[in-house]
Structure 1
């Protein structure tokens, strides 16, 4: 096989020396947005598979459907970044990356199909590396224990087993903090990185964080510096993540809400069935994605099977609503909003129990971080933070007719 010489620091950049070289069992990196943690983990995995000829890897996210556009895409980018694309084959059915010279593989699984996680086998060598991306999404420590146990058995001399976790540190109460960051163990490397070690950001990228530092210092500590988030003053407390039969809840009316975003914020679609008698909201699906044009939003909604559903959308985007109507989303309408609509909607929803299907990972992240804002003295005020609110707003739009009552409309 022809070999090419590269200088790794030029490819990877700085700030991850200890992460790259550590060979203990657990390697955890929490970091801010744009801290290179996921791209570095991807480059490192490709490099290691090529370096250790008996190794194979497993990549995990909480839901399988999120893997193709995140980890799979990042690893393909890493292959090109290292200039070794002629040695790798990518397949989408099944989702795999194959190192052609040896047949070693990188496999992809979601925790939403635990049987496929626990039954992973490889044809060449051993399963030695596990990468859990967006590990914050895994709320139950026992789910991690199951993954930990899947990396077992002897490995050849010179090879080692390692589990890598990369995450945004939204909540200091997460089990990952206590288990890895508050524990001294030679088999654990737990580091924090931030955007300042990312030399590939341009000036406009850095200005986003500098503005955040001035305008929202609390947000900057987490999203800018990678510190653990301190969550107090939750707006919704009566919620739980729980599997439920999607067919069984169809007897309840479905409600859909859409919040628009683009560059910095995601477009978010909220999908739920509501049991009004028992005051239970069953959150069963979501869309949550940045940089979606109106055409792409319509495509996503159609692909999800909701193009014929009544969708209540943010009235601040009338042109987008009209365009979605032209694109076949014919039952879309504008949210009425009005004075105190945010707090009134929150008051109404607070009377419900909210049960969230585990696949709705972005809804879980938002609702567990959606809090009341503070004044300059640190006192809570009767206004939600302007963060973690895309699906929260979409939920209010969706349930608007319930909270305000139906009104005759030409929309």
Structure 2
């Protein structure tokens, strides 16, 4: 090849993932801290390997399809550019897929919210031999993983191998992934933990974020910094379950009222919109949608809410951001209002929500992550305090704001 690209792969990929790169068993599982480059390394691996093996195809899966474009699709597109081969790839948005132009091999993107599309893939060239499940902790039911596992089946050419790669942040030690992959010894399983210290491309300011976390929030540092399993002890809300439901059918119930809450964020924290329906008679909260994104200006936040069709809904927002509330009102959220403040507002809000059963639609993956990790705080002697941790609380706060009008008495308020 006269136009061959020559490069020293470790210079492009970096260090810390040699064993991950070379493993050829069935299951390759990596939990890691933020900035541990697990997703970027995985994306680089698949672009490189697909070009190396002309009969291979890749299926990329997340629990909810709509989350793929801004995550795995973007990472794989970045990887093609990083390797200097983006001119050989066609990344299409409709349908969401990537095609290796010299051979016609494909990267398919699917969500578990449409399981039929996951199990019915027919490849045009070669065979479907590899799968990447990103944010695998979102898959709360082991049976759903079993379905995915069974979709990588059949004979492959002798120089190929079948493999499923799972990457995720280890929020919850009780997740089925720990028992299945990390608590066993099996030659078909590669299970490792990585952290930010293996990422040589972080600058000093990036590293200081983790050093500050180590001092100010050692509990969070163990998970978000070092990639250790999150120890979930003393959940604030245990009155919930994940269950699919017909949103339109629920809305027809005469006792149902809508409830929308907004918590503001930007650089480090996401803007979080809680979208629920409340049955005060049966004492049930139905969580049917969410918005959870960082880096949104007020204008972008308005556009996101409008695109979801919630512009005309009554939204109760964090009263600490009055300037943002005023701006969103001007842009078109005519029913947005500030949450009321008052003493013990967080505890009162939690007390109200604990009187309800919470049913969460499976598409609300960030809500499920937060509520399954939102615990009571502890003092330095490991005694529980009468306040929740300042973490996993963006949608939890938004839910409290949304439930303001369903509280106990006219003086009920939020902080």
TM-score range with shorter-chain normalisation?
A: over 0.9
1:375-386 matches, cutoff 5 A: 375-386=379-390
1:340-379 matches, cutoff 5 A: 340-379=344-383
Distance in 2 separating the partners of 1:330 and 1:201: 43
| 1:231 equivalent in structure 2 | 232
Provide the aligned length of Structure 1 versus Structure 2. Answer: 407
Distance in 1 separating the partners of 2:409 and 2:287: 21
| 1:142 equivalent in structure 2 | 143
SS of residue paired to 2:352? helix
Distance in 1 separating the partners of 2:34 and 2:409: 40
CA RMSD of aligned residues (A): 0.8
Distance in 1 separating the partners of 2:198 and 2:17: 9
1:310-365 CA distance string (max 9 Å, x none): 00000000000000011111110000021110000000000100000000000000
| 2:85 equivalent in structure 1 | 84
Distance in 1 separating the partners of 2:381 and 2:213: 19
Matched, 1:400 2:401: no
SS of residue paired to 2:171? coil
1:23-62 matches, cutoff 5 A: 23-62=24-63
SS of residue paired to 1:378? coil
| 2:74 equivalent in structure 1 | 73
2:277 pairs with one of 270, 273, 276: 273
Distance in 2 separating the partners of 1:322 and 1:62: 35
1:281-325 CA distance string (max 9 Å, x none): 000000000000000100000000000000000000000000001
2:311 pairs with one of 307, 310, 314: 307
SS of residue paired to 1:185? coil
| 2:15 equivalent in structure 1 | 14
| 1:284 equivalent in structure 2 | 288
The answer (yes or no) to whether the contact 2:57–2:123 under 8 Å persists in 1 is: yes
Deviation (angstroms), 1:157: 1.1
Distance in 1 separating the partners of 2:322 and 2:365: 29
Deviation (angstroms), 1:178: 0.4
TM-score by length of 1: 0.98
Matched, 1:195 2:196: yes
SS of residue paired to 1:109? strand
| 1:214 equivalent in structure 2 | 215
Deviation (angstroms), 1:406: 5.6
| 1:162 equivalent in structure 2 | 163
The answer (yes or no) to whether the contact 2:352–2:408 under 8 Å persists in 1 is: no
Distance in 1 separating the partners of 2:406 and 2:158: 64
Distance in 1 separating the partners of 2:79 and 2:342: 48
SS of residue paired to 1:317? helix
SS of residue paired to 1:269? strand
Moved over 2 A (4+): 404-407
Distance in 1 separating the partners of 2:221 and 2:327: 35
Deviation (angstroms), 1:404: 4.6
| 1:242 equivalent in structure 2 | 243
1:79-138 CA distance string (max 9 Å, x none): 000000110001111000000000000000000000000101101000011000000000
Deviation (angstroms), 1:248: 1.1
